[in-house]
Every structure is written in structure tokens, then in C-alpha cells.
């Protein structure tokens, strides 16, 4: 074991590592090395003789858990590290439920439904209950059920709560409680849990079986939690219960990076830690090792505007770095052009990789413009939050067979696999199977295995087809609990007919699907080799338990690595890039208009901005457009209020001749000056201010035909006066001209809006 690991830490980190007894709150600013502190704290416990099996470490991504375990292994040994209970909340609680779930009526081989499985089941229930799916939308209902579960509200409690019933009636969904009740019953019958059930059922297990709780309280002498600010009420309670016996709990997080309230995260968990553990120790990690001093200082001036926070002074000892560039565009199309051009230029001039760049936006819909402009410049890119590898149809098809092999009572897997590849089992037959199962209160699988008993429902030809499917599944299930996952997966790909189905395809799309199947088998091979090396189970059930809990950050392909990253600011948390572009910095986009009526929500939006800025290592760039298309209409925009909150010494404005926050809209009406606060006016006052004329001269200023301009032309602008066209770029209708004006310097104008007049 490496003995000088403490030499790798600064004094604040060292204190957070060596003070292992009792409750500890480690507030870690962005880039302050929290993962290193968590890792070394575990190493320090192991060095003091604490058995690895007595340590529980909870994270939010498999990637974080894997990185920590790899670091620990390098310092201690694999033989010791393998016994640590380390993983995501969901993976650790799933492990406990597989061992203890029979007390709640579940079999150990239960399936974990992902969000698409849940919505598919909800969609079926809506149809069965003859509800209007335009009112009872599966996505809305799924979110409502998820919120209830994360607040420990079961379906029976939900139905008995008058306030929830009143809310549902006001939302025109008075039967939502029935949908929830049916959904919970169907999951239970299918021996399946969704993600939220893993937390809810762990809470129920610990509540109803004190002996089980005592067993795990005794097992875990030390509990460590990463990203504590992101925990919801359900996670908070489990952690509190597990730490109650020994009270050796260490939580690491940053209240300034609490951005997931829409998922149920409660910032109160970290802010009120001191109330739960009165004798706690507080450690602050304030040195940022990631970013330049300019980026860190700018981020500090952003978050200083929030009232609800734990005070800290984050600083950087890195280079001062360049000022943050604020890019102004006339339209959203020009914004895409500006950002893509800047990336292209920096990549070449600084000899960087495409992967050094990230474009962050508030909403997924904003990606389109940047995708188009990146494509035009042949810049490779990837989108986080798009269709992940495991969401592709061909992958979900083969995974459905894997699930049936492990748990044939899985309704959603049965639906997906029973007639793929085609066996002549139509939708009507499948509907009859499920209706009969519901009427007899049995599983659809039991109907299939005894289809001959139901001659009044299925003719002899249909029975034969159903039995053929049953035989395929039963044959594939043989020795599944002892066979290596890769061998069994290959057997299923062949035995199900999927490999032959995909191999026969000739179109590029079909060839791609076949290649994806090959890639899946490669992934399973890697899994089995890793599991065998670590002394862990390498059977198919273990692989599926791992896959069910993967996140986007866990499924990055090798081919995706040298590409510009496009993602929402929420998705960027935990990542870092040399150059970060934060786009759409307008009050109609960011902060989100939905947060404008709530100080609490506005503070979370500001924390989101803080997170986005602190992803940057070398340089951050902010971008906004003065006009943006909405529902086909070009509407004017005001730059985000967040830009006004940053200390101006950290910003530079190349598009406005170095003048901060000047709102240069080149249409004839003048828009609100950036330094003015549009939100301090009522609607009528704002409209008057936005449209007031620039000049008292009643003679209208008429521009020349934009197609007539050439480089070197002398031109006149209503507002900026005379100038010379230095360059013209782009194609109509997005042609831009760089004009050197006599008084206001160089400006880049979109010709169709600029109203330039030849002199």
C-alpha cells in the first residue's frame, strides 16, 4: 500500500481525509478535488485497519464510482478494494433488494424498468382504462408517479390524499390515482421495479423490517456520499438510517451546484446537515485546480448573488487566463455561425482537439442551429442526451430476450420479443394474452405456457405459434444462471433469430444495426473479462443488472471521443473542457422564463449558470442573439440578466467594439439598452421603451439593396454613420458584412437587417 498518499493533498483536503470519525460535511467548490478527497478518505480508513466491507460509498454515476475504485486499487490493492460497497444509490440499493426483496414479495431476479419501459406500461394502462391519452399523457403521469415515490408516497397513500386528488381534478386527470395503483400492481406482478422503486422499496424494507435495517447499520461502520446536494428525500432518509448507529457519515458536495430540483433533489439536505448532526465537522475545499483565475473569479461574482448558500471563497492558483468573451449576434442563425467559426479558428491556431470544445445550452431544442453550422464546416460533434446506444431499437430488442431469459414474467420484455423476429403472432393475439392475464390475475407468461387450455381464445394455429415462442425462451434459459454472459448472449442472438434477421439486411441502416449488435457483444465480452478479474459474477443476470443502471456518461463510445460536445448545462455537471461556449444567453431563454416568478427557482437557474461557467478550464465564451425565431416569427431578445451580474473586469466584447452590454439591433426601432433593467417596467412601459424612435428626423432612412454591396464600398448606417465594408461572408439570407465605421469602429452586421446605404 502506498504510504505517502497524504503528500498529494493540500492542507484543507488533508484535514478532510484524516478526520474520519463522526459526521463530516465537505463543501467542495468546483474543481476543488472532491473525488480525490473521497478516494483518499477511503484509503485512509483502509490504512487504519477498517475492513473494506465495512465501508459504504454512494455516488450518482457508475463512472464516478469506477474512477474512485480504480484510484483506490492503485494505492491499496485490487484484493482489498473489491470488497468495498461502492456504487450509485440505485446499484447499491438494487443489490440489497436482490438479497432482501423476498421479504417484500419480490424474487431476486426482478427486472429493472427504464423510463421507456415505464412509459410503455403506463401507455397500455391508459388504453385499458379507456382514458384520453391527450389528457392522460404518459410522460406527465410517469413524472407525477416518480415524484410521489421519491417523496415516499405509495399508490394507496396517493389515493387517500385529498390534496393530491384535488390537484389531479384541477389538472383534468381525476383517475390518475387509478393509473398509479394499476401501474404499481402490474410492476409487482411482472416482478419488476422502476428506478424510483429501488429507493422507495429500500425505505419500506428498512421501515417494516427493523432487523434488516440493523443488519446493514452494523455492516456499514462508515458511510460516504458524493454530490450530497443532489440527493432527494428518499435518498436522504436511507442514508440517515444507515448512518444512525455509528454516526460516521461523510457527505461531500457543493450547494452552489445544486441544479436538479426538477428531479426531486433538495438543496436543504446539504444546507441543513448541521441540524441533523450537531457535532459535525465542516471542511471547505476552496482551491480550484481546473480553471484559470479569471474564470473562477467571474463564477464567484455570479454565485454571490444567491442568498441561500454556505459561504466559501473559491480561488485559483492557475494562470490568470483570458477574459471571458461575450459574443453578440444579430440573429440565432448568426450565433451558430459565430460559435462554429470561433471553434474552427481556435482549433487550428491553438493546435487543439475537437474534444477540447463544448457548446452548452439551456434547452435541447437549441442544438439544431449549432448542428447545422458545425456540419457546414465539417466539424465533428456529438450530442449528449440524444439517443443512447442502449436506446436503439435493435439493442432494446436483444435486451428484451436477455430479460425474458432472466425473468419470463417481465411483461414489457415479453411484448417486445414475442413477435420479433416475426412469428405470426399479431397485436390482437397479444392483446388477448394480456386481457386474459389481467382477468385471471396471472402473468402473461403463464398464459403462454398453458395456451392450449384457452381454446376459446386462441385457435390451434395460434397456440402452436405461442408454444414455439415459449420453447425458444425455455431453451435459452437453460444454464443461464451458470453460463458466462458472453457465451449466453451469443447463444440468445443466434437462438432468437435476431442475428440472422439483422445479418440479412442490405441497406446502410440494416448494416448499421448489425454492427450495433456486434458492438453489444463486444461490450459483454469486456464485462465478463472485467468481472472475472475482479472476482465478481459474470453471468447474464449480473450484466443486465449493470446495464439497467447505466447513465449517458457511462456509455461513451471510442468513436465519440474526438468531437465537439453539444449538451444542456444540466448534462454538463461533473465534466470539464478546455473551451466552453455558453449560448443563448438571453432573458427569454436563460434564466428559464418558468423561473421568473420564484426567487428560489431563479437562484437554481443562477447555480446552473455557475455550473456551466466552471466547466471551462482555459476559456469561457458567452453568446447571445438580439433576434431569435420563435414559432416562425423573428422576435427581439434582451441579453440575460445574469450577464449584468458578472464583474465587468472579467469580460470582453469583440462584437460591440469593446463596449460592454450595448444592444446593437440594426432594425430601425431601438431595443432596450443592455444596461437598462427591462424587468423593472410594466408591459406597457417596456413596449414604449422598446419601440421608441432613435431619431426625431421624420424622413425615413432607406437602405440599399443588400445584394449590391461589395468589399471596399463606402456605406452609411442610420445609427453608426459612415464606414467602409471590409469583408462579406456567408450566403443569402444570412450574408454578413464587417464594416469599419468612422466613429464606432468595426461591426459585423447581418445585411438583410442592417439597412446600409451606399454612399
The string of pLDDT tens digits covering residues 565-579 is 999 999 999 899 999
Q: Which residues of 690-701 are buried (b: 16+ CB within 10 A; e: fewer)?
A: beeeeeeeeeee
Residue 754 has pLDDT above 80, yes or no: no
Indicate the pairing of strand 577-582 with strand 616-630: parallel
Residue 555 has pLDDT above 60, yes or no: no
Least confident of 383-387, 401-405, 526-530, 693-697: 693-697
Catalytic: which of 257, 328, 331, 443? 257
- Confidence class for position 123, pLDDT limits 50, 70, 90: very high
Catalytic: which of 149, 615, 748, 755? 615
Q: CB neighbours (10 Å) of residue 485? A: 23
User: What pLDDT is attached to residue 66?
Assistant: 87
- From the list 392, 390, 398, the residue with the least C-alpha distance to 540 is 398
> Is 63 one of the annotated active-site residues of the chain?
no
Q: Identify the sign of the CA torsion 65, 68, 72, 77.
A: positive
> Is 615 one of the annotated active-site residues of the chain?
yes
- Is residue 409 within 8 Å of residue 595, measured between CB atoms? no
Residue 590 has pLDDT above 70, yes or no: yes
For residues 650 and 239, what is the distance between their CA atoms, to the nearest angstrom?
41
Indicate the pairing of strand 757-758 with strand 721-729: unpaired
Mean pLDDT of 353-364: 95
For residues 665 and 627, what is the distance between their CA atoms, to the nearest angstrom?
8
Burial of 119 (0-12, 13-18, 19+ CB in 10 A): middle
Residue 2 has pLDDT above 70, yes or no: no
Catalytic: which of 227, 356, 409, 617? 227
- From the list 75, 74, 69, the residue with the least C-alpha distance to 87 is 69
> Is 290 one of the annotated active-site residues of the chain?
no
For residues 614 and 495, what is the distance between their CA atoms, to the nearest angstrom?
50
> Is 35 one of the annotated active-site residues of the chain?
yes
Residue 638, classed as helix, strand or coil, is: coil
- Confidence class for position 729, pLDDT limits 50, 70, 90: confident
- Is residue 465 within 8 Å of residue 390, measured between CB atoms? no
**Percent of the residues in the chain that have a pLDDT greater than 70, as a whole number:** 91
The whole model's pTM is what? 0.78
Mean pLDDT of 323-337: 94
Instruction: Read off the pLDDT of residues 444-502 as tens digits, 9 standing for 90 and up.
Output: 999 999 999 998 899 999 999 999 999 999 999 999 999 999 999 999 999 999 999 88
Mean pLDDT of 618-646: 90
Residue 745 vs residue 323, higher pLDDT: 323
> Is 529 one of the annotated active-site residues of the chain?
no
Indicate the pairing of strand 381-383 with strand 287-288: unpaired
Cell of 314: 473559491
Q: End-to-end distance of the chain based on CA atoms, in angstroms?
A: 79
**Percent of the residues in the chain that have a pLDDT greater than 90, as a whole number:** 66
What distances in angstroms separate CA 511 from CA 46, 388, 497, 508, 582, one per listed residue? 50, 18, 16, 5, 37
Instruction: Read off the pLDDT of residues 255-267 as tens digits, 9 standing for 90 and up.
Output: 999 999 888 899 9
- Confidence class for position 148, pLDDT limits 50, 70, 90: very high
Residue 402 has pLDDT above 80, yes or no: yes
Instruction: Read off the pLDDT of residues 663-715 as tens digits, 9 standing for 90 and up.
Output: 444 333 333 233 323 333 233 332 332 233 333 344 456 778 777 788 888 98
Q: Which residues of 634-671 are buried (b: 16+ CB within 10 A; e: fewer)?
A: eebbbbbbbbeebeeebbebebbeeeebbbbbbebebb
Q: Identify the sign of the CA torsion 360, 366, 371, 373.
A: negative
Q: What are phi and psi of 591, to 5 degrees?
A: -65, 155
For residues 315 and 12, what is the distance between their CA atoms, to the nearest angstrom?
13
Mean pLDDT of 141-169: 94
Q: Is the peptide bond before 464 cis (omega within 30 degrees of 0)?
A: no
Mean pLDDT over the full length of the chain: 88
- Confidence class for position 743, pLDDT limits 50, 70, 90: confident
Residue 550 has pLDDT above 80, yes or no: no
Residue 28 vs residue 559, higher pLDDT: 28
User: What pLDDT is attached to residue 113?
Assistant: 94
Residue 3 has pLDDT above 80, yes or no: no
Catalytic: which of 197, 226, 605, 718? 226
Catalytic: which of 13, 34, 397, 621? 34
> Is 34 one of the annotated active-site residues of the chain?
yes
Alpha helices of 534-586 — where are they, by DSSP H? 540-547, 569-572
Residue bearing cell 391519452: 133
User: What pLDDT is attached to residue 681?
Assistant: 28
User: What pLDDT is attached to residue 295?
Assistant: 97
Cell of 643: 450577464
- Confidence class for position 503, pLDDT limits 50, 70, 90: confident
Mean pLDDT of 139-148: 93
- Is residue 320 within 8 Å of residue 635, measured between CB atoms? no
Q: What are phi and psi of 757, to 5 degrees?
A: -125, 130
User: What pLDDT is attached to residue 675?
Assistant: 30
Q: What are phi and psi of 33, to 5 degrees?
A: 85, 35
User: What pLDDT is attached to residue 46?
Assistant: 94
Instruction: Read off the pLDDT of residues 347-358 as tens digits, 9 standing for 90 and up.
Output: 999 999 999 999
User: What pLDDT is attached to residue 142?
Assistant: 94
Cell of 261: 430540483
Amino acid at each position: 500500500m502506498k504510504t505517502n498518499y497524504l503528500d498529494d493533498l493540500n492542507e484543507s483536503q488533508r484535514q478532510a481525509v484524516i478526520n474520519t470519525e463522526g459526521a463530516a460535511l465537505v463543501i467542495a467548490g468546483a474543481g476543488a478535488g472532491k473525488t480525490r478527497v473521497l478516494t483518499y478518505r477511503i484509503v485512509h480508513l483502509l490504512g487504519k485497519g477498517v475492513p473494506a466491507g465495512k465501508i459504504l460509498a454512494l455516488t450518482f454515476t457508475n463512472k464516478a464510482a469506477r474512477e474512485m475504485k480504480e484510484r483506490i486499487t492503485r494505492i491499496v490493492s485490487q484484493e482489498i478494494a473489491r470488497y468495498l460497497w461502492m456504487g450509485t444509490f440505485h446499484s447499491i440499493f438494487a443489490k440489497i433488494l436482490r438479497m432482501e426483496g423476498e421479504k417484500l414479495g419480490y424474487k431476486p431476479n426482478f427486472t429493472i424498468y427504464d423510463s421507456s419501459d415505464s412509459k410503455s406500461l403506463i401507455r397500455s394502462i391508459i388504453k385499458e382504462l379507456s382514458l384520453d391519452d391527450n389528457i392522460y399523457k404518459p410522460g406527465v403521469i410517469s413524472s407525477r408517479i416518480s415524484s410521489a415515490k421519491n417523496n415516499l408516497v405509495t399508490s394507496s397513500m396517493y389515493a387517500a390524499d385529498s390534496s393530491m386528488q384535488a390537484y389531479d381534478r384541477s389538472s383534468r386527470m381525476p383517475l390518475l390515482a387509478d393509473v398509479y395503483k394499476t401501474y404499481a400492481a402490474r410492476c409487482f406482478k411482472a416482478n419488476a421495479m422502476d428506478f424510483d422503486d429501488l429507493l422507495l422499496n429500500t425505505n419500506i424494507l428498512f421501515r417494516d423490517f427493523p432487523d434488516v435495517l440493523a443488519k446493514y447499520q452494523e455492516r456499514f461502520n462508515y458511510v460516504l456520499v458524493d454530490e450530497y446536494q443532489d440527493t432527494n428525500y428518499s435518498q436522504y432518509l436511507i442514508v440517515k438510517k444507515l448512518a444512525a448507529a455509528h454516526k460516521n457519515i461523510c457527505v461531500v458536495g457543493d450547494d452552489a451546484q445544486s441544479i436538479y430540483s426538477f428531479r426531486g433533489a433538495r438543496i436543504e439536505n446539504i444546507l441543513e446537515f448541521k441540524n441533523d448532526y450537531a457535532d459535525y465537522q465542516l471542511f471547505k475545499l476552496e482551491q480550484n485546480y481546473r480553471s484559470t483565475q479569471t474564470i473562477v473569479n467571474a463564477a464567484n461574482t455570479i454565485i454571490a448573488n444567491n442568498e441561500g448558500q454556505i459561504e466559501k471563497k473559491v480561488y485559483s492558483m492557475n494562470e490568470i487566463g483570458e477574459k471571458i468573451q461575450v459574443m453578440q449576434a444579430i440573429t440565432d442563425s448568426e450565433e451558430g455561425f459565430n460559435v462554429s467559426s470561433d471553434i474552427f479558428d481556435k482549433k487550428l491556431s491553438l493546435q487543439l482537439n475537437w474534444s477540447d470544445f463544448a457548446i452548452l445550452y439551456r434547452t435541447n431544442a437549441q442544438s439544431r442551429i449549432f448542428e447545422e453550422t458545425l456540419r457546414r464546416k465539417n466539424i465533428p460533434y456529438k450530442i449528449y442526451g440524444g439517443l443512447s446506444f442502449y436506446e436503439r431499437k435493435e439493442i432494446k430488442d436483444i435486451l428484451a430476450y436477455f430479460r425474458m431469459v432472466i425473468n419470463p414474467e417481465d411483461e414489457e420484455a415479453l411484448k417486445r420479443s414475442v413477435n420479433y423476429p416475426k412469428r405470426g403472432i399479431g397485436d390482437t393475439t397479444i392483446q388477448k394474452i394480456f386481457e386474459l392475464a389481467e382477468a385471471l390475475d396471472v402473468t402473461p407468461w403463464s398464459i403462454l405456457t398453458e395456451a392450449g387450455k384457452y381454446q376459446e381464445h386462441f385457435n390451434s394455429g395460434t397456440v402452436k405459434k405461442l408454444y414455439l415462442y415459449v420453447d425458444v425462451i425455455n431453451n435459452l434459459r437453460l444454464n443461464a444462471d451458470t453460463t458466462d454472459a458472453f457465451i449466453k448472449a451469443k447463444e440468445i442472438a443466434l437462438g432468437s433469430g435476431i442475428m440472422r434477421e439483422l445479418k440479412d439486411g442490405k441497406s446502410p441502416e440494416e448494416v448499421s444495426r448489425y454492427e450495433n449488435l456486434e458492438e453489444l457483444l463486444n461490450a459483454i465480452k469486456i464485462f465478463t473479462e472485467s468481472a472475472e478479474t475482479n472476482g465478481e459474477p459474470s453471468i447474464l443476470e449480473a450484466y443486465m443488472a449493470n446495464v439497467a443502471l447505466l447513465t449517458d456518461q457511462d456509455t461513451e463510445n471510442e468513436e465519440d471521443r474526438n468531437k465537439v460536445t453539444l449538451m444542456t448545462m444540466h448534462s454538463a455537471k461533473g465534466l470539464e473542457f478546455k473551451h466552453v461556449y455558453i449560448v443563448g444567453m438571453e432573458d427569454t431563454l436563460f434564466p428559464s422564463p418558468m423561473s421568473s416568478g420564484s426567487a428560489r427557482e431563479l437562484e437554481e437557474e443562477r447555480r446552473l449558470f455557475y455550473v456551466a461557467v466552471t466547466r471551462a478550464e482555459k476559456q469561457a465564451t458567452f453568446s447571445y442573439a438580439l433576434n431569435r425565431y420563435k414559432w416562425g416569427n423573428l422576435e427581439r431578445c434582451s441579453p440575460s440578466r445574469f450577464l449584468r451580474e458578472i464583474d465587468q473586469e472579467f469580460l470582453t466584447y469583440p462584437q460591440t467594439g469593446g463596449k460592454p452590454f450595448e444592444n446593437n439591433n440594426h432594425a430601425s426601432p431601438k431595443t432596450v439598452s443592455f444596461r437598462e433593467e427591462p424587468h423593472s417596467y410594466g408591459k406597457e412601459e417596456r413596449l414604449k421603451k422598446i419601440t421608441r424612435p432613435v431619431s426625431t428626423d421624420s424622413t425615413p432612412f432607406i437602405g440599399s439593396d443588400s445584394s449590391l454591396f461589395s468589399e471596399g464600398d463606402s456605406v452609411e448606417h442610420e445609427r453608426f454613420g459612415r464606414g467602409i465594408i471590409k469583408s462579406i461572408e456567408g450566403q443569402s439570407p444570412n450574408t454578413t458584412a464587417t464594416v469599419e465605421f468612422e466613429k464606432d469602429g468595426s461591426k459585423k452586421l447581418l445585411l438583410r437587417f442592417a439597412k446600409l446605404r451606399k454612399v
